[in-house]
Structure 1
Amino acid sequence: MSLPATRVAVGHLDPWFVAFGRAVGAAMLAGGCLWLTGAPRPTRAQWARLAVVALGVVAGFPLFTSLALIDGTSAHGAVVVALLPAITAVFAVLRAGERPPVRFWLAGGAGLVAVLTFLVASGTVSGSATRTDLYLLVAIALCGLGYAEGGVLARDLGGARTICWALLVALPVTVPITLVAAAANPPQGPAVAWVAFAYLTVVSMFLGFFAWYAGLARGGIARIGQLQLAQPVLTLLWSALLLGETVGASAIAAAAVVLTCVVLTQRSRQAPRPADASLAR
């Protein structure tokens, strides 16, 4: 529901406020969580990785999806964001030293082809990408990096502490931008906009990462990351039910193919990672 909620929120609130304000709210929850659990402070090396996580999932992805959904629909965004599993797998190899088997790449590649086919059919890559598409592509690249770094960190810190510390690391950036955005465009909107904003703050930016990073750490970043291929199906469903958006036949076909690819990637088994303990630090 993240993309539909973002679409609702930016329909009434400043996109910069939506992107960074939700991070500030989630950081307040994160600080309480870390204090109540008595979490130890990360090491120097972990702080550096947490900064990358913050860049990717706390700032980058929320900002560029918010900007994209000012004009674009969440249904279209959902299918474009289906590129994210492939990007996450690449970063899993580059940053986490994972070595998925050939069968994994074939299944993931099939899902990627389905997405690209949809983009061609919808005119997205017919010669010039729109500003919305460019925003989504930047969001995908940053998010994939943040997922890979967070998955590595979660092996030591756990999923909850990884996102909590990342939210706190980002505060020197998220707080000033939120205040400036609120001053420039005072946040005013109907109740539905604030409900969407609250969902983005509590679920998308905070609680959802507890399970997500824990899953990436336990099951492998590349392999578990492919579960995101199911996101277009769910987002298209919510976009139609909650926003009344029209879901075309090409989008449904692409979603069905990528969902099949999810099953195939989860049936693959990752080759053992190099025996290098430093990868988890």
Structure 2
Amino acid sequence: MHNWYQSFLIPTFQHFQQFSQGWSEQTKGLVLGVLAVMLFSFTLPLSHYVTQSLDPWFVGMGRTAFGGVLAAAILWKKQAPLPNRQQIKWLLLSSLGITLGFPVCISLAMSLTESSRGIIVIGVLPLATAVIGAVLAKERMPKAFWLFALAGAGLVFGFTASQQSSGPQWADLLLLLAVLSAGFGYATGGKLSKELPGWQVISWTLVLVMPFFWVPTAMLFPTESAQIELGVWLAFAYLIIISQLLGFFLWNSAMGLGGIALVSQTQLLQIFFSLLIADILFGEQLNAWTWLFAILIITVVAMGNKSVRLARQRLKA
């Protein structure tokens, strides 16, 4: 882990800093946000795939139990200072969404319904993150921004209502709980990223709570683990290493640079990326309506971002 961390992760951030010289913090935040979203786009398709073979409770809790160990190793290697009492409070609040609410709810939901349905429902996540983040960070956003955010959420709910035979209805409730949990976790993590490096925020979030996840994870560990396909374990490893930890290195840094409400809108792109993954890698049947809603939502996020840029330009003028 040490060699990989030293030879890949650190140089990657250094190259980005060199490449992005001269960019505004807003632009850097948006670019990092898109990169993080691309990594997160594998989360739902892989969660659906993994939970067909592993207990969804084990998957949801194992992400924190195992991810916390990796995070602790990184913090120790980098000799990161301990967070102060106020920061610990926000880290624990963030953990409610990042380590418990979202991973568990999404794993349970993906064991009940296809990933394409979850992908569209999760499209309301930018709205939840933006609303919570704007309140926490006291960000003042133009009215047009909120109108576009609401339009995106409306499209997502419209798509969900139009689907007739897509699995248990209460799976949608789990997905919405996952959205609220992630929105709260993202927003609180983004607030802390103005005080701590993004990688420290997610690392400490995992480390502070991981002991509470060890016992249930051990109890739920599959008794016939050797009979489970290697691909399932590799997908689970991705959920631990990328979805639960390294993706947040980029994501928290992005929100610290570009602002929570603005960068959170790049999450709408996750719909498009995730649908491609579900289609190409897992062969899910996607109809024209699914792609139409995805395109409309992507258009909405572009217009929302534009409204923020125009508002900031007017303030500077």
Shared fold (TM-score greater than 0.5)? yes
Structure 1 partner of 2:59 = 18
Aligned residues: 268
Contact 2:44–2:119 (CA under 8 A) maintained in structure 1: yes
- 1:183-222 matched pairs, under 5 angstroms: 187=225, 188-222=227-261
Q: Does 2:279 match 1:240? A: yes
Whole-Å separation in 2 of the counterparts to 1:60 and 1:32: 24
Taking structure 2 as the reference length, what is the TM-score of the superposition? 0.81
Tell me by how many angstroms 1:192 deviates.
1.1
Tell me by how many angstroms 1:173 deviates.
1.9
Structure 2 partner of 1:70 = 111
Match of 2:99 among 54, 58, 68: 58
Tell me by how many angstroms 1:140 deviates.
0.6
Tell me by how many angstroms 1:50 deviates.
0.5
Whole-Å separation in 2 of the counterparts to 1:234 and 1:168: 30
- 1:259-270 matched pairs, under 5 angstroms: 259-269=298-308
Match of 1:160 among 199, 223, 226: 199
Match of 2:183 among 131, 144, 156: 144
Q: Which amino acid aligns with 2:148?
A: A
Structure 2 partner of 1:276 = none
Structure 2 partner of 1:275 = none
Contact 2:65–2:211 (CA under 8 A) maintained in structure 1: no
Taking structure 1 as the reference length, what is the TM-score of the superposition? 0.91
Tell me by how many angstroms 1:153 deviates.
0.5
Q: Which amino acid aligns with 1:139?
A: A
* Superposed CA offset, 1:46-90 (max 9, x none): 111111111101121010010001121111100000011111111
Contact 2:62–2:213 (CA under 8 A) maintained in structure 1: yes
Structure 2 partner of 1:80 = 121
Whole-Å separation in 1 of the counterparts to 2:248 and 2:214: 21
Match of 1:45 among 86, 92, 112: 86
Whole-Å separation in 1 of the counterparts to 2:216 and 2:95: 15
Alpha-carbon RMSD across the aligned residues, in angstroms, is 1.8
Whole-Å separation in 2 of the counterparts to 1:263 and 1:97: 23
Stretches of 4+ moved more than 6 A in 1?
none
Contact 2:130–2:260 (CA under 8 A) maintained in structure 1: yes
Contact 2:68–2:203 (CA under 8 A) maintained in structure 1: yes
Match of 1:178 among 211, 217, 221: 217
Q: Which runs of 5+ in 1 are unaligned?
A: 273-281
Q: Which amino acid aligns with 2:55?
A: D
Whole-Å separation in 1 of the counterparts to 2:176 and 2:116: 15
- 1:122-137 matched pairs, under 5 angstroms: 122-123=163-164, 130-137=169-176
Q: Which amino acid aligns with 1:73?
A: E
Q: Does 2:68 match 1:6? A: no
- 1:113-128 matched pairs, under 5 angstroms: 113-123=154-164
Q: Percent identity?
A: 37
Structure 2 partner of 1:89 = 130
Q: Does 2:256 match 1:224? A: no
Whole-Å separation in 2 of the counterparts to 1:114 and 1:242: 26
Match of 1:253 among 271, 289, 292: 292
Whole-Å separation in 2 of the counterparts to 1:246 and 1:99: 41
For the residue of structure 1 that corresponds to 2:195, the secondary structure is: helix
* Superposed CA offset, 1:161-218 (max 9, x none): 00000000111321122112127x5545111110110110111011100000000111
